[in-house]
Amino acid sequence: MAKLPKYYGGKETEKKWQNFWEEEGIFKYDENSDKPVFSIDTPPPTVSGSLHIGHVFSYTQAEIIARFYRMNGYNVFYPFGFDDNGLPTERLVEREKGIKPRDIEREKFNDICLEVSENVENDFKELWQSLGFSTDWDQLYLTIDERSRRISQRSFLDLYEKGYIYKKESPALYCPNCKTTVAQAGTESKTSPSKFVDLKFELENGDDLIISTTRPELLPALVAVFVHPEDEKYSDLIGSKINPPLFDLEVEIKADPKVDMEKGTGAVMCCTFGDTTDVEWFKEHNLALRQVIDENGRMNGLAGKYENLTIKEAREQIIKDLDKEGYITGTRKIEHPVNVHDRCEHEIEYIVKSQWFINIMDHKEEIKKQGEKINWYPEFMKQRYTNWVENLKWDWCISRQRYFGVPFPLWYCSDCEEVILADDEDLPVNPLKDEPNKTCPKCGSNDFVPENDVLDTWATSSVTPQINARWGENDDRMEDIFPMNLRPQAHDIIRTWAFYTIVKSFYHHEEIPWKNAMISGHVLAGKGSKISKSKDNAPSSPQELIDKYSADPVRYWTAGARLGRDAEYSTEVIEDGRKLINKIWNAIKFSIMNLDDFDKKQEGPKNIIDKWILHRLTETIKKATNYLEDYEFGLALSTIEDFFWGEFCDNYIELSKQVFFRGEEDEQLGTQKVLYRVAYDILKMFSPYLPHLTEDLYQRFFSDFEDEISIHIADWPEANEDCINKEINYEMEKILEFVELIRKSKSENNLSLRHPIDKISYECDYEKVDISKAMKQISFLLWIDKVEDDFEPDYTAESENGKLRIKIKWGEK
Ligand SMILES: [Zn+2]
Ligand SMILES: [Zn+2]
């Protein structure tokens, strides 16, 4: 039988087993298996540049769960995808290649996007492989690949048919920097310094009315002035006209309860559009439209002499002019929240455009209820979803004025403007290149114009369950995979990815997309600051970490976190992972040494120590399994570790040495039986966390006794109720207290643990505890020569509660 080398091989060994798993197809999803399916809707990472350790963190946590379910007899469907369509890839191309999409042909630009994203995808794949991910790479998809485009367009057609989609000239959130409309979920609130300016407006009777604003550049966009209906100082003015300074405009003073009477003078400007309230008033009060900002973020002709200035330039110039003309009565600096685009942090504007929308507002209650049908881990994350749905103010705008994305599957009739939808069998279509295969059903025309916009990225990444299940394809497997079992993702994308996916599944199938959502936290670079690529504050790249420590210790760090909580990056925890690996190596090495002539048919347990460790093993398996079923990988790991270090290594192995070195043959066989079982179950419990080390040890020894070609498809340890023995456990706890008392006595006398004890006597007041049952093993472990009553002690000690008392006569070293 193979003797273990002194040290574990680390990185080279890891490579070896990664290749083995790949060659043997250990992690393949089996379409023909009778086993129950456990399907995972793995987040397709955005292909937008380098990887950071935040990626490693949450993806590894989900990977641990995949391994756990595989060992529990499931046919695990664990795919990977890459979200390579949309704005992040365009930005990456602009950054890496210095090419702007407007500068070249759209087709060419898209080719470059594909090329650049492919490079990034290879890096990602290499990283996941070097971390030992048990992914089935045959299931790989890209959100821009042909099948994804087809399913995304199919999703559009289905929603259109079901009446959830409409096109409308409507105010939409707009990023002048990226020159595209964005969804509410694509915006973030940011505090920004600004200036409140008090301006003189002129009433019909020639009097002044002071109105404060942070956006004087929107004066040419003024469509009304609002006051509160119960504000007595203005009640006579409601319905009368008012003129702003500088611009030749006249608007009506209107009343609305949304006005905050305490803010400024209680009279506010309503423009096209300064904020969400302006949009609401525009709709509710049927106001005129005076759009002064164009799609490039510059002032248009309505702004008069300010035409062509940027928003910021116009604001400065208008303030200067207002001041010169004496219209400003005061200014105050303030900090206020502004809405910014989450991809570029530029301030969001509002623009009126003809756009496609998915109706959300009419179905908020049902969408909220869908969230309640999903099990959220940790549970409080459900509230984040609910809050998001409750606070939504907009339908989902899915039109994007970008280049690299999934096209809308439609054209417009040039003669009557009828919408011509593509047929399902023609998908995916590119309306810029393809023609409809029919004439206009309304007027018979043959002349069409394509829809130029592309779909919002989320319109495609919200159908990842359907992409995985090949919805509507020839090899449709919705029956087997959908709804999926698990969506693992980080908490910041509940409002986007989780939300949109739930909406789509509900509208398409009246079903939840997955039964369980496992929500992870973020990695923090230091106190409270999230690691992000824009801040470039990651302490190290994932590949550097793996090169330095190998994969298993890095995985150990990711598993130490509590589910849903942010965690700090810590090299100490990675070092702890290394220590654990060494300890496991040495403990298994000791076990193998003493299992030289082992035969599985041997019988055990025989002595109290063997019975006790089986009891504790069973309890550990139960507890760790329960935690893992709740996706609490971190609590499961610490349960397994506590058992391994404290009970198996510190006590069981130590006390069993006497049996192996001096014991009777019959007792040895019994302890061998138990040692094999416990050591193997420990390895199996660690295997989702430390897949390389555990595979290595399995192949070096345990595989000779077991049927599976890899530990990762062996059965998860079984909690055998027959091994539960509360009386033995109680008795052993007290015996271990006795062992501790002797260990402490030695250390209090500055003696090593191997310092001989010539004589010892003890008294035990615990009922039903017989220390003599383990005295042979204790004597061997603690170098005790004789147990005797009558001698002159060098030292006496008692346990804290006084129930154990010992007298010792030290021996000679
Ligand atoms: Zn932007
Ligand atoms: Zn027509």
Residues 314-365 pLDDT 10s: 999 999 999 999 999 999 998 888 899 988 889 998 888 889 999 999 999 9
pLDDT value for 139: 95
CA of 186 to the centre of ligand 1 (A): 9
Lowest pLDDT segment from 293-297, 307-311, 649-653, 715-719: 293-297
In angstroms, what is the span from residue 44 Cα to ligand 1's centroid?
Answer: 22
Q: In sequence order, what are the residues at sequence separation of 6 or more whose Cβ sits closer than 8 angstroms to the Cβ of residue 284?
A: 256
- Contact (CB, 8 A) for 662 and 779: no
Q: Say which ligand is closest to the CA of 412.
A: 2
DSSP 199-218: EEEEETTS-EEEEEES-GGG
Give 90 Cα–ligand 1 centroid separation in angstroms.
12
Question: At 172, is the pLDDT very low, low, confident or very high (cuts 50, 70, 90)?
Answer: confident
587 Cα to the center of ligand 1, angstroms: 56
Q: Are residues 539 and 633 in the same domain?
A: no
Could you tell me if 201 and 345 lie in one domain?
yes
Domain CATH code at residue 718: 1.10.730.10
**Bridge partners of 399?**
455
State the pLDDT confidence band at 47, using cuts at 50, 70 and 90. Answer: confident
Q: How confident is the model at residue 105 (pLDDT cuts 50, 70, 90)?
A: confident
The alpha carbon of 414 and the centre of ligand 2 are apart by a number of angstroms equal to 7
Of the three residues 559, 580, 599, the one that is the final residue of a domain is 559
Nearest to 690 by CA among 629, 644, 625, 637: 637
Cα(441) to centroid(ligand 2), Å: 7
Same domain? For 196 and 345 the reply is yes
**Same domain as 632, residue 578:** yes
Give me the CATH number covering residue 322.
3.90.740.10
Structure tokens at 106: 């759209």
Task: Indicate which ligand has the atom closest to the C-alpha of 444.
Answer: 2
Q: Which ligand is nearest to the CA of 416?
A: 2
What is the number of the ligand closest to the CA of 436? 2
Does 483 share its domain with 343? no
C-beta of residue 44 within 8 angstroms of C-beta of residue 548: no
Amino acid 701: pLDDT: 96
In angstroms, what is the span from residue 415 Cα to ligand 2's centroid?
A: 5
How far is the centre of ligand 2, averaged over its atoms, from the C-alpha of 423 (Å)?
17
- What letter would DSSP give residue 653? I
Least confident residue range of 25-29, 273-277, 373-377, 755-759: 273-277
Q: In this structure, is residue 638 part of a structural domain?
A: yes
Q: How far is the CA of 637 from the centre of ligand 2 (A)?
A: 65
The predicted-structure confidence for 240-251, as pLDDT tens digits, reads as follows 999 999 999 999
Ligand in closest contact with the CA of 449: 2
In angstroms, the CA 436 to CA 438 distance is 5
CA–centroid distance, residue 494 to ligand 1 (Å)? 21
Q: How far is the centre of ligand 1, averaged over its atoms, from the C-alpha of 318 (Å)? A: 25
Ligand 1 centroid to 293 CA: how many Å? 16
Predicted confidence (pLDDT) at residue 787 exceeds the cutoff of 90: yes
Among 86-90, 267-271, 312-316, 551-555, the least confident range: 86-90
How many angstroms separate the alpha carbon of residue 450 from the centre of ligand 2?
13
Ligand number nearest CA of 174 is 1
Task: Report CA(463)–ligand 1 centroid distance (Å).
Answer: 24
pLDDT at residue 110, as a whole number: 79
Residue 447 is assigned to a structural domain of this protein: no
Residue 534's pLDDT is 55
Q: What pLDDT was estimated at residue 561? A: 86
pLDDT tier at 537, thresholds 50, 70, 90? low
Distance in angstroms (rounded) separating the CA atoms of residues 51 and 57? 11
Give 358 Cα–ligand 2 centroid separation in angstroms. Answer: 24
The reply to whether 124 and 254 lie within a common domain is no
Boundary (domain end) residue, out of 724, 743, 770: 724
- In the 8-state DSSP scheme, what is residue 643? I
Ligand nearest to the CA of 186: 1
Question: Nearest-5° angle of CA 601, CA 603, CA 605?
Answer: 145
Look at residue 768 in the predicted model and tell me its pLDDT.
Answer: 94
User: Of the ligands numbered here, which is closest to the C-alpha atom of 445?
Assistant: 2
- In angstroms, what is the span from residue 165 Cα to ligand 2's centroid? 20
Does residue 194 sit in the same domain as residue 335? Answer: yes
Task: Say which ligand is closest to the CA of 417.
Answer: 2
Please state which of the ranges 316-330, 522-536, 628-642 shows the lowest mean pLDDT: 522-536
**How far does residue 127's CA lie from ligand 1's centre (Å)?**
29
Specify the higher pLDDT residue, 377 or 540.
377
Q: Is residue 12 situated within a structural domain?
A: no
User: In which band, very low, low, confident or very high, does the pLDDT at 665 lie, cut at 50, 70 and 90?
Assistant: very high
Query: What average pLDDT score do residues 212-225 get?
Result: 94
Sign of the torsion formed by the C-alpha atoms of 528, 533, 536 and 539 = positive
* Ligand number with the minimum distance to the CA of 418: 2
Tell me, yes or no, whether 583 and 706 share the same domain. Answer: yes
Where in the sequence is the domain holding 797, given as residue range(s)? 727-810
Can you give the pLDDT at residue 103? Answer: 79
End-to-end CA distance of the chain: 37
Contact indicator for 612, 728 with CB cutoff of 8 Å: yes
Question: How close is the Cα of 213 to the center of ligand 1, in Å?
Answer: 25
Separation of CA 113 and ligand 1 centre (Å):
18
Residues 708 and 585 in one domain: yes
> What is the whole-number distance in angstroms between the Cα of residue 411 and the centre of ligand 2?
11
- Residue 699 counted as domain residue: yes
In a domain, 419, yes or no: no
- What CATH number has the domain bearing residue 524? 3.40.50.620
Ligand 2 centroid distance, CA of 160 (Å): 19
Q: Which ligand is nearest to the CA of 401?
A: 1
Cα 361 to ligand 1 centroid, rounded to whole Å: 25
Q: Is residue 403 part of a domain?
A: no
- Which ligand minimizes its atom distance to the CA of 447? 2
Give the whole-number percent of the chain exceeding pLDDT 90.
75
pLDDT on residue 381: 96
Q: Which ligand has the shortest distance to the CA of 443? A: 2
Give 495 Cα–ligand 1 centroid separation in angstroms.
18
- Give 173 Cα–ligand 1 centroid separation in angstroms: 11
Q: Which pLDDT score, from 0 to 100, does residue 120 have? A: 82
pLDDT tens track for 120-138: 888 888 999 999 999 999 9
Q: How far is the CA of 449 from the centre of ligand 2 (A)?
A: 11
What is the number of domains present in the chain? 4
Asked which of 693, 724, 755 is the last residue of a domain, the reply is 724
Lowest mean pLDDT among 199-208, 679-688, 730-739: 199-208
Same-domain status, 545 and 582 = no
Q: How far is the CA of 427 from the centre of ligand 2 (A)?
A: 22
Question: Which ligand sits closest to the CA of 414?
Answer: 2
Output the six-digit token pair for 99.
Answer: 């090419």
- The confidence score (pLDDT) of residue 540 equals 75
Strands 208-213 and 399-400: unpaired
Ligand approaching nearest to the C-alpha of 349: 1
Please report the pLDDT score of residue 92 as a whole number: 82
The CA distance from 782 to 739, in Å, is 8
Whole-angstrom Cα distance, residue 117 to residue 82?
9
Q: Which of 215, 217, 269 is nearest to 243 (CA)?
A: 269
Distance CA 98, CA 117 (A): 15
State in Å: Cα 177 to ligand 1 middle: 5
The residue written with tokens 């004496």 in the block is 326
Cα of 399 from ligand 2 centre, angstroms: 23
* In a shared domain, residues 541 and 577: no
pLDDT at 305 over 60: yes
Whether residue 404 is contained in a domain is answered as: no
Q: Which ligand is nearest to the CA of 411?
A: 2
Asked if 223 and 251 count as a contact pair (C-beta separation under 8 A), the reply is yes
What separation in Å is there between the alpha carbon of 381 and the centre of ligand 1?
A: 28
User: What does the pLDDT read at residue 539?
Assistant: 67
Q: What whole-number distance in Å separates Cα of residue 375 and Cα of residue 757?
A: 58
Does one domain contain both 225 and 313?
yes
Average pLDDT, the chain: 92
φ, ψ at 597 (rounded to 5°): -105, 30
User: Which-ligand-closest: CA of 413?
Assistant: 2
Q: Report the separation in Å between the CA atom of 356 and the middle of ligand 1, taken as the mean of its atom positions.
A: 19
Q: How far is the CA of 343 from the centre of ligand 1 (A)?
A: 6
> How far does residue 392's CA lie from ligand 1's centre (Å)?
21
Does 27 have pLDDT greater than 80?
A: yes
Tell me the ligand closest to 342's alpha carbon. Answer: 1
**High-pLDDT (> 70) share of the chain, %:** 98
Residue 7 domain-assigned? no
Give the span between the Cα atoms of 27 and 38, in whole angstroms. Answer: 13
pLDDT of residue 536: 60
Q: Work out the average pLDDT over 405-427.
A: 95
Residue 197's pLDDT is: 93
Task: Check if the beta carbon of residue 506 is closer than 8 Å to that of residue 367.
Answer: yes
Q: Where are the alpha helices (DSSP H) in 276-310?
A: 276-284
Per-residue pLDDT, 104: 80
Over residues 668-676, mean pLDDT? 96
Highest mean pLDDT among 310-314, 525-529, 728-732: 728-732
8 A C-beta contact, residue 514 and residue 487? yes
How crowded is residue 12: how many other Cβ atoms within 10 Å of its Cβ? 8
> What is the 482 CA–ligand 1 centroid distance (Å)?
35
